[in-house]
Amino acid sequence: MRTAFVLSGGGSLGAVQVGMLRALADLEVTPDLLVGTSAGALNAGYLAGHGTDRASVDNLAEVWQRLRTLELFAPDLLRVGLALAGREDSLFSDRALRRLIKRHLKFTDLKDAPIPLWVVATDLLTGAEVHRNHGPALELIAASSAIPGIYPPVHLDGEVLVDGSLANDSAISVALNNGAERVYVLPTGYPCALRKAPRSAAGVAVQGASVLAHQRMHRDVTLYADKCDLIVIPPPCPLSVSPLDFGHGEELIDEAFTAATKWLAKDGGHRKDPARWLAAHKHH
């Protein structure tokens, strides 16, 4: 049975997927194709080149454990001022993000990925979903991760591309359209246990995008639940880590690994009405 791993976006919560991947690796579940969006595209890009065995996933865990917020979102008052004046298209440069992606990529074009990889982005001008399994890997993964207003759009082949979560965070349809019969969905979740709303502009933007993307994933899981063998691995809950806070990688990985191991131990992760495990909620 042709198997796909679908990895959604979620900023720093992408670490959650590493814990899920560890649990899958321990069960020797391997994908025939990968679909990645935003933070999920970074993870999928790594897996496509390095493999999905436990040793490779452990190496990916080390990448997440070393990440820090200031590494990816370094303050630049001049750039912020220019952005507010309409002379820059984002609050932060994506140079550090690109260095991170390039450091761990083992191929330059998506078509050369050892495990077939589809990356999902959004056309900023039309809102259309853009998914590619060929073309410059660095550019496309950076585009998939380009949160509007936070990171700059990527101009590629006449298109202006931004974060794929805006158009299709779950991307289950991409997996099905490319022959997947069994689909493992690895959502990052969203901060359902924040005590108060974020105060920074970037924090508000990312929190809002995270909630909307999670709602779309709930819709898509409902839509495709009977179209394939669909296995959703729920993210840890409650979550109180902001998608912009990269200081909790090890904690998120460990928590997700424990939860995913228990989840997959029962019927291989199969559940009736898988969408209900992704329903919007908050904790008081």
pLDDT at 197 over 80: no
Helices (H), the chain: 15-26, 39-50, 54-66, 69-72, 77-84, 95-104, 137-144, 165-168, 172-177, 201-224, 249-265
Assign 69 a pLDDT band (cuts: 50, 70, 90).
confident
In terms of pLDDT, which residue wins out, 122 or 194? 122
Q: How far is CA 142 from the centre of its chain?
A: 12
| In the predicted structure, residue 14 carries a pLDDT above the cut 60 | yes
CA dist 145 and 199 (Å) reads 22
Q: Which of 133, 143, 40, 138 is nearest to 90 (CA)?
A: 143
More confident residue, 78 or 103: 103
The DSSP code sequence of 113-154 is -SS-EEEEEEETTT--EEEESSSBHHHHHHHHT--TBTS--E
Q: Round to whole Å and give the CA distance between 14 and 28.
A: 21
pLDDT of residue 195: 73
Does some domain include residue 61?
Answer: yes
Average pLDDT, the chain: 90
127/19 Cα distance (integer angstroms): 32
Residue 70 falls inside a structural domain: yes
pLDDT, position 87: 61
Q: Which of 242, 218, 270 is nearest to 29 (CA)?
A: 270
User: Per the structure, how many domains does the chain have?
Assistant: 1
pLDDT for 212: 79
Q: Which residue range is the domain that position 137 belongs to?
A: 3-278
The arithmetic mean of pLDDT across residues 38-43, rounded, is 96
pLDDT of 78: 59
At 88 the pLDDT is 66
User: What's the rounded mean pLDDT across residues 107-128?
Assistant: 97
pLDDT tens digits for range 248-258: 999 999 999 99
CB-CB contact of 41 with 47 (8 Å): no
Q: Considering only residues 49 and 199, tell me which one the structure prediction assigns the higher pLDDT.
A: 49
- Between CA 126 and CA 280 the distance in angstroms is 27
pLDDT at 211: 79
Confirm whether 284 is domain-assigned: no
Residue 283 maps to a domain: no
- Residue 64 falls within a domain, yes or no? yes
pLDDT value at 47 more than 80 = yes
Q: Is 222 within a domain?
A: yes
Distance CA 160, CA 124 (A): 6
**70-85 CB burial, b ≥16 within 10 A, e <16:** eebbeeeeebbeebee
pLDDT tens-place string over residues 118-175 = 999 999 999 999 999 999 999 999 999 998 888 899 999 999 999 998 887 679 999 9
- Which residues lie closer than 8 Å to 94 by C-beta, 6 or more apart? 142, 145, 146, 151, 152
Specify if 156 maps to a domain: yes
Within-domain flag for 273:
yes
The CATH number of the domain holding residue 55 is 3.40.1090.10
Lowest-confidence region among 38-52, 205-219, 259-273 = 205-219
Is the model's pTM score more than 0.95?
no
Q: What mean pLDDT comes out for the span 101-118?
A: 98
